[in-house]
Amino acid sequence: MRSFRLQLTLRFGLTMLLILLVTGAAWTVLLRVILYRQLDRTLLALAEVEALAGASASSSHFQFHEGVFLTEARHSPSELVRFAELWTDQSAPVVRSINLGQRDLPLPVDAMADARREIVGHATFKWEGARYRSIVYPLRLVGTLHAKHYLEVAGPLDPVDTTLWRSAAFAALLGVIGMMLAMGGAWWFARLATRPAQEIAAQAEAIEAGTLSARITAHAEVAEYHRLVAVLNAMLDRLDRAFQAQRRFVADASHELRSPLTVLKGDIDVALRRERGPAEYRAVLESGREEVDRMSALADNLLTLARTDSGLPPDRLQPVDLEQVVRRAVERSRVAAAEAGLDMTLDTSPTATRGDAGLLERAVGNLVENAVQYTPAGTRITVRCWTAEGCARVEVDDSGPGIPPEHAPHVFERFYRGDPARSRGSGAGLGLPIASAIAAAHGGALELVRARPGALFRLTLPAAAPA
Ligand SMILES: Nc1ncnc2c1ncn2[C@@H]1O[C@H](COP(=O)(O)OP(=O)(O)OP(=O)(O)O)[C@@H](O)[C@H]1O
Ligand SMILES: [Mg+2]
């Protein structure tokens, strides 16, 4: 795994090294210019002094102030060593400073060319294994007697080069030390910067299934971490809610499955207490069968919920004639509606969607069943289906008493049942949640448009071109 801290430290250190090296290089270049200028100035000053002194003497009497021209003795500092030589226009030597002995200074061609144009020429050359700086001074600048003579003054570059090397080495050393300091600082800063994230992670880690109601509080007030903490807490909220819903669902489901089992067992126990006639056994078996029916319907409902909750696989999205589906769902409740003295009307137009026809029939069927179950005799139930604005819509509208305000917000909750006294059936409270889950799995929605007076449920699905 990559370490943010290590990366930050390396980058910071390298950046610092680069900055210091560039600064060091620039400084060394500047220092070189300064030192060369300084050397040139001292050479020029010396040349002027010697030129002025010799200006009135003829070339055979031209003499240098020999005391100034130290020999390269073992103990004399090389900064003070200077050589001088007088040249003719044809580059022939005339006079040498004594420390030159029989040797001639090299005469740089470019510097000589400058001097011929009455400009003081400058040059750098290598001579006898060392580097030298020299200037060529046209004596015409100090009088006409030596109009055709040129004075060359040279000094070793050794001291300048040594200073430059030392300065460069010092800059490099500073670069390395600076880099190490910067890396240390970055390492420390990175720890400081990543500590809140670690503390937030530690708090999040401590939150487990049992303590999902706990929230992260660390660094929530720090601007940079506020969002992270908020996002994590929102995620915990959702997890907590989902977890609680799941727990409630399992508890309700097992409770619902237990009551028919208890009834069944009670009936069997009573029947077994003594010998009974065939008719009595039959009655027990029939009531047992009812309980088994109820349990298998419940198991079926739970299975449908579990399946639709995880969404529909694409291969189950087939073109569906919704008008047909609505008609079939209504047909199934016709008899029950007639027995209860309800007036059920259909008002449909060709409507199509994509999905699972069986599931859609079940969703509409649940709405129709509810309208039949929870309304008194004489109620009008209207089932409509049509297409509008790219949506396929199904409405189940009844003129019954509707849903009381205390129940209305909860009717889509799993296992939620309204007032049982007003119902004709004894459901488990899964009809609306299943219809709603089916709608969601089809990319649609189920809503309670009107709760009172008379409930109006509307199922909205994406419309498809009629087959
Ligand atoms: N058309 C309606 N008129 C009045 N109340 C209704 C209507 N539809 C639903 N309800 C109320 O909403 C509650 C939840 O309905 P839902 O279909 O989810 O469960 P159920 O009918 O009680 O049980 P199940 O459908 O699982 O057999 C019902 O118990 C009922 O009180
Ligand atoms: Mg129902």
In the chain, what are the domains?
4-165 (3.30.450.20), 240-309 (1.10.287.130), 314-462 (3.30.565.10)
Question: CA angle 307-313-315, nearest 5°?
Answer: 135
pLDDT values of the chain reduced to their tens digit, one per residue, 467 residues = 888 889 989 999 999 999 999 999 999 999 999 999 999 999 999 999 999 988 888 877 888 888 888 776 666 677 888 999 999 999 999 999 988 889 999 999 999 999 999 999 999 999 989 999 999 999 999 888 888 899 999 999 999 999 999 999 999 999 899 999 999 999 999 999 889 999 999 998 888 877 888 899 988 888 889 999 999 999 999 988 888 878 888 888 888 888 888 989 999 999 899 998 999 999 999 989 988 998 898 888 888 888 887 778 888 889 999 999 999 999 999 999 999 999 999 999 999 999 999 999 999 999 999 999 999 999 999 999 999 999 999 999 999 999 999 999 999 998 888 876 555 556 788 999 999 999 999 999 999 999 988 999 999 999 988 76
Q: What is the strand order of the sheet 391-398 is part of? A: 343-348, 380-388, 391-398, 456-462, 445-450
Q: CB–CB of 73/96 below 8 Å?
A: no
**How many angstroms is it from 261 CA to the middle of ligand 1?**
23
- Ligand having the closest approach to the CA of 383: 1
Per-residue model confidence (pLDDT) at position 467? 63
pLDDT at 207: 87
CA of 458 to the centre of ligand 2 (A): 15
The β-bridge partners of 154 are 83, 134
Q: Where are the alpha helices (DSSP H) in 155-220?
A: 158-206
- Alpha carbon separation from 403 to 171, 366, 423 (Å, rounded): 86, 16, 12
Q: Give the number of other CB atoms < 10 A from CB of residue 434.
A: 22
Q: Please, which residues have CB within 8 angstroms of residue 211's CB and are 6 or more apart in sequence?
A: none
* pLDDT value at residue 75: 61
Report residue 82 as tokens.
């200077």
> Cα of 417 to ligand 2 centre, how many Å?
9
Which ligand number lies closest to the CA of residue 428?
A: 1
The pLDDT of residue 73:
64
Looking at residue 93, its pLDDT comes to: 94
Query: Ligand 1, residues 249, 304, 366, 370: which to mutate, most atoms within 8 A of Cβ?
Result: 370
pLDDT for the residue 230: 93
